[in-house]
Amino acid sequence: MLPVVSIVGRPNVGKSTIFNRLVGSRKAIVGDQYGVTRDRHYGESFWNGRKFNVIDTGGYLPDETDIMIAGIREQVHIALEESDVILFVVDTEGGITSLDQAVAQLLRKQEKPVLLVPNKADNDERTLNATEFYALGFDKLYPVSAINGRGTGDLLDELVNLL
Ligand code: GDP
Ligand code: MG
């Protein structure tokens, strides 16, 4: 069995864009689940000769904050059960939100390795702004731009070290 990496975070931070960058055309299975967590996408990726599976933890019922928080909890719990490493994605454009804080709280009180990934760090300014996410209580962060690829090499170097 290949190691499993899950991508978690609130909607619109760029989870699916990161997934597509990691997995490209090697998307294997598209799983549909009814309920709060939907459209979980599984695919294979590799870096530095290491192969791993990636899960994009997908969608939510939109617009209702309490459903959204329940959805985040379910997403994180499933991710913790099935993964070896978690990518916790946040958005340098939008800054820290209460949903980011809810996810951070769930992820801090468990043992699995978590890499905090401020996405949309498309340029130097956004990359500098990413330091605000230290407030979420993780030791290190890995700013990336899923769109232009900036920072993704450093993230993947660290990721495969943890597998
Ligand atoms: P998800 O809901 O977390 O899966 O987020 P998506 O991957 O669907 O992305 C949400 C929006 O953010 C889309 O409009 C993406 O094009 C945009 N986006 C994703 N990654 C980046 C990035 O690195 N830079 C910028 N500027 N936009 C991004
Ligand atoms: Mg998505």
The fourth-level CATH superfamily of domain 4-162 is P-loop containing nucleotide triphosphate hydrolases (3.40.50.300)
Taking CA atoms only, the protein residue closest to ligand 1 atom 25 is 120
* 120 close to ligand 1 (CB < 6 Angstrom): yes
- Show me where the domains of the chain are located: 4-162
Q: Please report the pLDDT score of residue 42 as a whole number.
A: 82
Bigger pLDDT: 118 or 73? 118
Q: Is 137 annotated as a binding residue?
A: no
> Ligand 1 pocket test: which of 6, 10, 12, 57 has the largest number of ligand atoms within 8 Å of its C-beta?
12
Average pLDDT over residues 82-96: 95
Helices (H), the chain: 15-23, 65-82, 98-108, 124-129, 152-162
pLDDT of residue 70: 78
Tell me the longest C-alpha to C-alpha distance in the chain: 43
pTM of the model: 0.91
- Of all protein residues, the one whose alpha carbon is nearest to atom 28 of ligand 1 is 120
* pLDDT at 54 (0 to 100): 93
The burial of 107, by beta-carbon neighbours within 10 Å (0-12 exposed, 13-18 middle, 19 or more buried), is given as: buried
